[in-house]
Amino acid sequence: MSVVYFLGQLIFCGKKDIFTGKTKQLKWSDPELLREAKDYDSALKAMKAIIDQGEGASAYNLLQQNVDSSELAHYFKFSSIFFTNEKVYNNKEQESHENYVYAGDKISFFETGVWPVVNNPQMSKYKPDSQAYKNAQAFNDVYRKLLETLQSVFDGNVDRFDDAFGLMKSLIVYGTRVVQTPIDDGGDPNIGPNAGPTYFN
């Protein structure tokens, strides 16, 4: 809620009128999912929508996305996976300096669903002209194009958002192809080590 708090502080420093709605903004068929910030009030509603979708947390319960949902906020959802236990409130059986502990139901991990990707993937770990190198490079090319397209959208070319969305989906295809490719040509992808996306490294 800190962003919303700072938006509120704009009132006191005379900056409430910075939201003019004159800049190009993305539009969506459902205004509840994507709001235009035309003035201070609509900017506040846009920030609330982002928080309610899980990118923040309820001011009344930091664990939840919002007061109307039992879903965990994204931070706590991912941290629960890391600690392999669902989050629950603290109680007499579990002492903690926080008001919650990772002591809920065990989150199962199925190794058979994970490809044996090399630690810290880097292009230098792949032999030039190998299939691993080619697939990783192809992923990087699409990733670079995605970043450039998103930058163009943020620069005001909002009509390119559909292009960016398509590139996001294609990254799944390219990424899956990379992690299924052994570093050594002719290797077993089920044993590995397999390549992984390097993100230009």
Q: What is the reported pTM? A: 0.68
Match 């930091």 to its residue by tokens: 62
Dist. CA 176–CA 197, nearest whole Å: 9
Phi, psi of 145 (to 5 degrees): -65, -35
Domain boundaries, the chain: 40-109, 115-200
How many distinct helices (H) and strands (E) make up the chain?
5, 2
Dist. CA 183–CA 30, nearest whole Å: 45
Model confidence pLDDT, tens digit, residues 81-93: 888 887 766 555 5
Model confidence pLDDT, tens digit, residues 42-101: 777 777 777 766 666 655 555 554 545 566 777 777 888 888 887 766 555 554 445 667
